[in-house]
Amino acid sequence: MVLVDAGGTNIGSVRYALQRLGVEAPLTADPQLIRSAGKVILPGVGAAGPAMARLRALGLVELLRGLIQPVLGVCLGMQLLCAHSEEGDTDCLGLFPATVRRLAPSPGLRVPHMGWNRLCAVRPHPLLHGLADDAQAYFVHSYAVPVGDDTLASAEHGQAFSAVIGRGNFFGMQFHPERSAAVGARLLRNFLSL
């Protein structure tokens, strides 16, 4: 297991969450370590443009696209797995055929969306095993993936959006599992067992 060093600011807390589950995951941009890892997590907090620029500068774009082991994008990392982001009009990794869109502000709802929100399973998947109907996760984001064919779980902030996505060996969680208490730990454990 490795954490890809994409320059995100939540890396320490993701690492600590994995340590609580008994997993040591080095932070690396080394292509050989990433390619040989049993599982890969792409964490991220920040903006799509600089994160993609960093992945390009490190020569990791094609490597990430070609991975065959389970890969999990967290927060911005999930958005980077998509085709395009409205944030900075950024082309991303293209592993999900989705465009990441800015959350629309509406009366009584602020953007960025910050706080706890209910997860609603859209279809069964081992990644969601044991997820209770009233499960909540902690979100901090201004952009989101619309609900689509790859949505495993959704959440709502003025409109429904993808909270968990999955396609082949690639997965994403828009929320922060490392800040989502028992629910986040459960979902990380599920990813580790894929």
Tens digit of pLDDT for each residue in 136-176? 999 999 999 999 999 999 999 999 999 999 999 999 999 99
Closest by CA position to 144, among listed 183, 125, 117 = 117
Q: What is the dihedral of CA 81, 46, 143, 94, to 10 degrees?
A: -20
Instruction: Report percent pLDDT > 70 for the chain.
Output: 98
Q: What's the pLDDT at 8?
A: 66
Which residues, 6 or more positions from 25, have their beta carbon under 8 angstroms from its beta carbon?
1, 2, 3, 14, 15, 18, 41
The answer to whether 75 is a known catalytic residue is: yes
Of the candidates 113, 141, 157, 176, the residue annotated as catalytic is 176
Q: What is the pTM of this model?
A: 0.96
Of the candidates 62, 75, 86, 125, the residue annotated as catalytic is 75
Please, which pLDDT band fits residue 9 given cuts at 50, 70 and 90? low
Q: How far apart are CA 138 and CA 14, in angstroms?
A: 13
Q: How far apart are CA 64 and CA 76, in angstroms?
A: 15
Element (H, E) at 50: helix 48-57
CB distance 61 to 74 below 8 Å: no
The answer to whether 92 is a known catalytic residue is: no
Q: What's the pLDDT at 46?
A: 87
CATH of domain 2-192: 3.40.50.880
Please, which pLDDT band fits residue 7 given cuts at 50, 70 and 90? confident
Average pLDDT over the chain, rounded to an integer: 95
Quick check: helix, strand or coil at residue 137? strand
The answer to whether 82 is a known catalytic residue is: no
Q: What strand order describes the sheet that includes 120-121?
A: 27-28, 2-4, 40-42, 71-74, 170-173, 160-167, 151-156, 120-121
Of the candidates 92, 113, 157, 178, the residue annotated as catalytic is 178
Q: What's the pLDDT at 34?
A: 98
